[in-house]
Amino acid sequence: MKGMTELLKGVLEGVVLQVIQNSEEAYGYQITSTLIELGFQDIVEGTVYTVLLRLEKKNLVTVEKRKSMVGPARKFYRLNDAGVTYLADFWQKWSFLVDQLIKIKR
Amino acid sequence: MKGMTELLKGVLEGVVLQVIQNSEEAYGYQITSTLIELGFQDIVEGTVYTVLLRLEKKNLVTVEKRKSMVGPARKFYRLNDAGVTYLADFWQKWSFLVDQLIKIKR
DNA sequence: GTCCAGTACTTAGTAATACTAGGTAAGGCC
DNA sequence: GGCCTTACCTAGTATTACTAAGTACTGGAC
């Protein structure tokens, strides 16, 4: 869907964290594919990587580089404790927002 | 709720439009109060006014200035046809996003 | 009649974040 | 070698909400 950019702000971090958690660990290229499969058609690789670097900088994930047999090395991300807490907090804020919007729409 | 700033991006425009539509017409100060009442505790006046000016610039609303007996003149906003369309589009995008997030959370 | 609280609107500057539009590399296949 | 897929990185830009002010009008307290 077109024009989702602004709506995605603040959401993508949580979404990426959740996708990582869903598969225990995940790497950027894989996350991008997963998101596109799930319907985020317009998500671009670059966007996902900037999110991942941000998550790393915020110390919400651990990173492990491992070689691949079909291309360059992959950077596998995993949530750490702070990441798990952050994700739970994200869903709480999200639910809150959803509830507010339901109230407004009536 | 704290730290909703980023989540609000892209949402506030739709929310403000909906609040205006809910009362046929509305002015900034009133919209701010309504939002705070509805739970957006941390919304600040300045934010609402910047949204309103943006909506005006995008030609989604009509504006009428009317005197008040309890303070300065009020600027009453109303959705025009483009605003109604935009709002419908906003809710469609929002629903889409909500559905995506449900899928991801599992 | 002066001061203040409540009402009402405006705006310059900042921070956060998604996108644009590239680029770099490694491996496999022809 | 040339090309495709996989895989990651990044400088610059646009959008948007917030910060932190300021202006101005009305009515009541004193």
What's the 3-state SS for A14-76?
HHHHHHHHHCCCEEHHHHHHHHHHCCCCCCCHHHHHHHHHHHHHCCCEEEEEECCCCCCCEEE
Name the burial class of residue A97, with classes exposed (0-12), middle (13-18) and buried (19+) by CB atoms within 10 angstroms of its CB.
buried
Contact flag A10-B6 (C-beta cutoff 8 Å): yes
Question: Is nucleic acid strand D under 7 Å from A29's C-beta?
Answer: yes
Q: How many domains does chain A divide into?
A: 1
Sign of CA dihedral B45, A104, B98, B91: negative
Amino acid at A95: S
- Residue A17: inside a domain, yes or no? yes
> Is A90 inside a domain boundary?
yes
Q: What distance in Å separates the CA atoms of residue B77 and residue B21, rounded to the nearest whole number?
A: 9
- Model confidence at B37, pLDDT cuts 50, 70, 90, reads very high
Q: Is there a domain that residue A104 lies in?
A: no
In a domain, A103, yes or no: no
Residue percentage of chain A with pLDDT more than 90: 92
Search chain A and give the residue with CA nearest B11: A7
C-alpha span between B78 and B24 (Å, rounded): 6
Q: What is the pLDDT of residue A24?
A: 95
C-beta atoms of A100 and B6 within 8 A: no
Which among B1, B39, B93 is the nearest to A7, CB-wise? B93
Asked whether the beta carbons of residue A101 and residue B39 sit closer than 8 angstroms, the reply is no
Residue A77 and residue A55 in contact, taking contact as beta carbons nearer than 8 Å = yes
Q: Which of B1, B91, B94 sits opposite A93 (nearest CB)?
A: B1
CB-based contact A26:A34 (threshold 8 Å): yes
- The answer to whether residue A102 neighbours chain B at the CB level (below 8 Å) is no
- Tell me if chain B has a CB within 8 Å of the CB of A105: yes
Residue at A102 is within a domain? no
Give residue B65's pLDDT.
Answer: 96
The mean of the pLDDT values for chain A is 95
**Per the domain annotation, does A100 fall within a domain?**
no
Inter-chain contact B39–A97, Cβ cutoff 8 Å? no
State yes or no: pLDDT of A7 exceeds 90: yes
Q: Which one of B6, B93, B103 has the shortest CB-CB distance to A38?
A: B103
- What mean pLDDT is reported for chain B? 95
- The predicted-structure confidence for B17-32, as pLDDT tens digits, reads as follows 999 999 999 999 999 9
Question: In sequence order, what E strands does B7-73 have?
Answer: 26-27, 61-66
**Quick check: A37 CB within 7 A of strand D?**
no
Residue contact B9–A6, C-beta within 8 A: yes
Please, what is the angle between helix B45-57 and helix B28-37, to 10°? Answer: 120
Mean pLDDT of A80-92: 97
pLDDT digits (tens, 9 = 90+) for B60-83: 999 999 999 999 999 999 999 999
Q: Residue B32's domain spans which residues?
A: 7-99
Question: According to the model, what pLDDT value does residue B17 have?
Answer: 98
Nearest-Cα residue of chain A relative to residue B34: A104
Strand order in the sheet with A61-66: A26-27, A74-79, A61-66
Domain CATH number, residue A89 = 1.10.10.10
Query: What does the alpha-carbon distance between residue A37 and residue B67 come to, in Å, rounded to a whole number?
Result: 54
Chain A contact for B39, CB < 8 A? yes
Q: Which residue has the higher pLDDT, B18 or A70?
A: B18
Q: Closest residue of B to A14, CA-based? A: B101
Within a domain: residue A99?
no
Q: Are strands B74-79 and B61-66 parallel, antiparallel or unpaired?
A: antiparallel
Residue B1 above 90 pLDDT?
no
Does residue A25 fall inside a structural domain?
yes
Name A25's Cβ contacts closer than 8 Å, sequence gap at least 6: A64, A76, A77, A78
For range A50-66, the mean pLDDT: 97
